[in-house]
Amino acid sequence: MVNLRKYYIYILPILSGVLFSIPFSYPSLFPLSWLALLPFLYLLERWKKKEDKGYLAVFIAGNLLGITIMVLSSSWLYYPLAEHSGLSFLVALFLLILVFVFFGAIYGLWALIYVFVKRSPGVSPVWLAISWIAMEFLRFRSIPAFPFAFAAYTQSSFLSLLQFAEYGGIYLVGLVVILFNGYLYKTIASRKIRFILPAILILIFILGVGWYLTNNYAIDSWLKVGVVQTNLDPVEKWRVNNIEKNMDYLVEESRQLPEAELIVWPESSLTFDIIRNEFYRNRFLQQLKSLNSYLQIGSLSIMDDDFARYNSSFLIGPGGVIKNRYNKVRLVPFGEYMPLSNLVEKLTGISMVSQLPGNELVIFQMGEISWKTVICSEILYPGLVGKGVDEAQFIVNQSNEAWYKRGNLQEQMWIAARFRAVENRRAVLKAGNVAYGGVIAPTGEEIMKKHSRELSTFSLELPLNIKGETLYQKWGDYPGYISALILLLSLLLKIIICLKRNKRKAVRKI
């Protein structure tokens, strides 16, 4: 019979990682994350006692926890690497494994710091939560190209807790989740009911305040909007012989929404340069003369006489008049631009024409109604979404998520949009290609959520918010900053204490 105890160091971190990550794919299972770390904490406490290999075991366990979370939250990275990068299967697989191991090591380092700094035996729930949030914050600040796998994103369907994103963003919400894990484990491990009281009080506070915030939020007015989504293959979409077919489909679908005051299409919905390609531009704008709605479309287009293209969103008024333009500010590395392109070309032989980033904040206007646009992955960056949004009444997110095929990328993009809605107390209107589209209320509630495979064209009313700043817009990620500061100071203090202790031991031996 197999002795499973030998494999606890592998099984328990993986189990915790699985429980932690399931809500990234199935948000309604958010309660799993409230107890996800229990197996991992049991392992930490058990192995720390074996000082001869305690720290190595802790690092390995943290690595396995992190790798599991990375695999279950980000396995969709395989598709663009394997199918659209030009890399061979083995090279793409190797790079993906390298990414997972690298991020796993971050969790391994966190586990080491948590155990090293903690003074008293047993779990310290407060230190557990602070150190975890500090790790997430420092990871994101150091590697902003990977804005996924946050503890907070497991809680998008817990509406009461979601309301607290207005006061501290993803780090405040995540802090609560990890803190509850700590108190729950301490209660079970010590068999003392008094340790569950803080967890119960936290839940009561969240449910009470969250319910009040959800049910007492004032809506200024409503706007009739339309969404047209597509299900186009990312390669077939860009074939020249499909330009007119795709364009005609989008226009015809928009004509089915006569009551909509604003109709939004996905990112890069037009597969020609609307600025440079005069023939298709004139044909397209001519088709719009029969539309009485404002139309927001996407196109990869040049600026003036420059031949470098931008990932742009255009606002077109009734009658086919271009009113405004926003160029995507934060581009995706290796997707929209190639870092160190000359070096990459020499090493791989792959040449990529990079897009240019925009450098201007643009607020679209339609009479007295105003809104901010973020394109695709920009919805994942709270600071970028919040910049200038106090001048807007809602947020539009256009995306193209077809590159990632199967996986939970589309779900996580929608989850991020729910958090941005609450952080800014602005409704979010989302339209995409092979993506979830719909409208999210300022409270994070889903007014409409439809995948483009289910329903491509629909209209509904979008709540408009009274303009103003939220606490999160003013203070930003202060829970992350405070947690990181506490972690760094605690680590420094612990190192100083250990050095002094070792010095005393050396003196005694002499």
472 belongs to a structural domain: no
In the chain, DSSP finds a helix count (H) and a strand count (E) of 16, 12
Residue 76 amino acid letter: W
210 and 189 within one domain: yes
Rounded CA separation 425/397 (Å): 15
SS3 216: coil
Shared-domain flag, residues 372 and 418:
yes
Q: Which residue spans within 164-293 are E strands per DSSP?
A: 221-228, 262-264
Residues 98 and 45 in one domain: yes
E strand segments, 153-293 = 221-228, 262-264
Q: 3-state class of 275 per DSSP?
A: coil
Verify that 351 and 451 share a domain, yes or no: yes
- Is 473 inside any structural domain? no
For the full predicted model, state whether its pTM sits above 0.85.
Answer: yes
- Classify residue 311: in a domain, yes or no: yes
CATH number at residue 460: 3.60.110.10
Residues 445 and 425 in one domain: yes
Sheet holding 457-464, edge to edge: 321-327, 309-317, 294-302, 262-264, 221-228, 457-464
106 in the same domain as 235: no
Answer yes or no: is 434 within a domain: yes
Residue 443 tokens read as 């409270």
Instruction: Look at residue 192 and tell me if it is in a domain.
Output: yes
Q: Are residues 427 and 449 in the same domain?
A: yes
Q: Are residues 298 and 228 in the same domain?
A: yes
- Asked if residue 50 and residue 79 are part of one domain, the reply reads yes
Range of the domain at 362: 221-467
pLDDT at residue 1, rounded to an integer: 44
Identify which of 339, 343, 370 has the alpha carbon closest to the alpha carbon of residue 354: 339
Is residue 406 included in any domain, yes or no?
Answer: yes
Query: Do 122 and 114 touch, CB atoms closer than 8 A?
Result: no
Q: At what angle do helices 125-142 and 165-190 cross, to 10 degrees?
A: 140
Read off the tokens for 333.
């590395």
* pLDDT score, position 335: 65
Domain identity same for 261 and 362:
yes
Task: Please name the residues in contact with 209: beta carbons below 8 A apart, sequence gap of 6 or more.
Answer: 160, 163, 164
Q: Assign residue 268 a region: left if phi > 0, alpha if psi is -120 to 50, beta otherwise?
A: left
Buried b or exposed e, range 193-218, using 16+ CB within 10 angstroms: eebeebbeeeeeebeeebeebbeeee
Q: pLDDT 10s per residue in the chain (510 long)?
A: 455 566 778 899 999 999 999 999 999 999 999 999 999 999 988 765 555 456 888 899 999 999 999 999 998 888 777 776 666 778 778 888 999 999 999 999 999 999 999 867 778 899 999 999 999 999 999 999 999 999 999 999 999 999 999 999 999 999 999 999 999 999 998 888 888 898 899 999 999 999 999 988 878 799 999 999 999 988 888 899 999 999 999 999 999 999 999 999 999 999 999 999 999 999 999 999 888 999 999 999 888 767 788 899 999 999 889 999 999 998 877 666 555 555 555 555 555 566 788 889 999 999 999 999 999 999 999 999 999 999 999 999 999 998 887 779 999 999 999 999 999 999 999 999 999 999 999 999 999 999 999 888 999 999 997 767 899 999 999 999 999 999 999 999 999 988 888 777 777 666
**Residues paired with 370 in a beta bridge:** 365
For residues 280 and 424, membership in a common domain is answered with yes
- Residue 399 has a CB neighbour count (10 Å cut-off) of 28
In a domain, residue 356? The reply is: yes
Asked if the structure places residue 151 within a domain, the reply is yes
User: How many domains does the chain fold into?
Assistant: 2
β-strand 436-440 against 427-433: which pairing, if any?
Answer: antiparallel
Q: Are residues 208 and 292 in the same domain?
A: no
